[in-house]
Structure 1
Amino acid sequence: MDVVSDVIAAVRMGQAASDRVRVNGSWCARFAPYDGAGFHVVLEGGCWLLPDGGAPVALAAGDAVLLPHGTGHVIADSPADAETVARAVPFERWIKPPGRADAAGRGGEPGVEMLCGKYRLDHSRVHPLMAELPTLVHLPNRVGDHAELRAAIDLLGGELGADRPGAGIAVPSLVDLLLVYMIRAWVARNSGGAWSAVLGDPVTAAALRALHADPAAAWSNDRLATAAGVSRPTLARRFTSLVGRPPMAYLTWWRLTLAAARLRDTEDSLAAIARRVGYGTPYALSHAFSREFGTTPGRYRASRAEGQGAAR
């Protein structure tokens, strides 16, 4: 897997939740802060997004917006003011049951149609790439920009607008693609960001690809430098400068992140997880995991199971 895919897979939990809404007239809905990432895609019309503590953002047809840290916000037909925020209705009470959405344009008023949803993320082990994302990522619909994202939005709009065979698989898959494409678009656009520089540096990017492709391998600085095609000092200097930690320290951190994800998402034994992430024995993994997380793998797994059960 590539680095961005790995980063997303390590923090994703369960299936994304999404609702297609269609409204007109005067309206305003409130989204409470969320332990995950929220998103909106405007399929038709336009509206405003009012993030907590931030300036209002105008959204037009084809626009996509990601709130990667689950920031609370309001979406409304007009820009922010005290009255708008005060009259916001919680989204869960505002949306109508499936099949009962208002028809856009009723009474001659223009309608707004959008996809609103959220991804569950495990913020206990956020990768630096995800942590670097801003409070709000707005990706306007501009000709020639982010072709893959535009194509996914068009496909999603088509699936949502028709009762087609296989939609039960197609829609969740396209919603998952949105997260990948939104993060990819942000990385490509944010050339001044730390992780844009990391992924744009051929030496560091090659080393990261090697580590992520086979984290259980018996890596050493010399072996990784050979994989990246440079000397050991060159790799150490460039990797540490861009990533913020030496290559082997990053590998340890990533192995434990993968172990945490498998404890959370699978019923694999500790021995199987240890082999998968590069530890020789369950004891070695347990010792490293406890030192990093401040709890044993067994207690971590139990706490995550309880948390996911409560979130359902």
Structure 2
Amino acid sequence: MSSLPPLEDPVAYVVVGPNDQRGPYTLELLVSEVAAGRLADSTPVWWPGLADWTTLGSHAETAVLIAVRAQPAPAPAPEWAQPAPAPAPAPAPAPAPAPAPAPAPAPAPNAFAAPAPAPVEVVEIVETVAVAELVADDGTVVTEIVDVTDFLAEDGSVVAEIVDVTEIIEVDPQTLADYEALVARSSQRASLHDRVESADESLVLAVIEAAVGLGFGLDDRTDLERGHELRFGEVGGDLLEIELGRVTAQSPEDVRFAHVPLMVSYRSGSFQGEADPGDGSHGAVTITSDEWTGQSASTTSLFLDLQSYFSEDLFVDAAAVQRDLGATIAVVRGKLS
């Protein structure tokens, strides 16, 4: 008997950063995110019934669910294979080769024979290494490692010389201190960037959770530089598409003063009405028809002010997200009823 709670019940919590606990989410959503590679299987997770925090990858039952969903579907077997062609008949034997021509007579000796080659001078290769230290005008020590290869003739004279010079310049303390200060500032900005990215991901998960709570199943998620595209399916075959802009801010404190665009589109094949371009006002719902698929789509575009959904600690108010997204979906879907 499984020790897991129902996969569709929002009872699971995760920790995505220091002192950053999120939830509740359904295990269905968390397992799907890990199987798709968007959530690490080492993320701490807890649900009622566990004595302590665990991870989806180490818990036996959730690890099995992740492994099953991460496996690619087997390739379908071919329904019919064309029979191999019959072998071609063997070629007729080739005719016997013609007899070889008689050898040509040897040429007469040349009266002007070429002179004998001059003796080759023996060359010995000797490799040496030289090290030199130079002092620049600013006092910086420059070390030169010189790899010299001499080609010596038998009489000891140098006939060629190849020099490979590698310069190693020591970094002075002030330059090193400037670089370390730059790394420190960059590390601080990276930490702030990670917090903004975490806020963006938590909002996406809240939108997915809200749509799933309204009876839709997540079919596909595409993360782009400008935002996220989410596609959901419904039991009746209708489709829900949500485009959510990416959360961007100069600092975590600025997140609550920003906004993201939201586009919600509902597609149905049973709508018998006419297209409606809307009145052009903000939030108006438009209806378009696709003659190729036979589906109609109702669509609206809005802006989400993030102050309504994030606390000062950048925790997402999941109830507020579900309230507003649920109202938007209801209005958009109602246009096709």
The structure with the larger Rg is 2
**Which structure: greater helix fraction?**
1
Larger RCO of the pair (alpha carbons < 8 Å, separation 6+)? 1
TM-score normalised to structure 1 length: 0.22
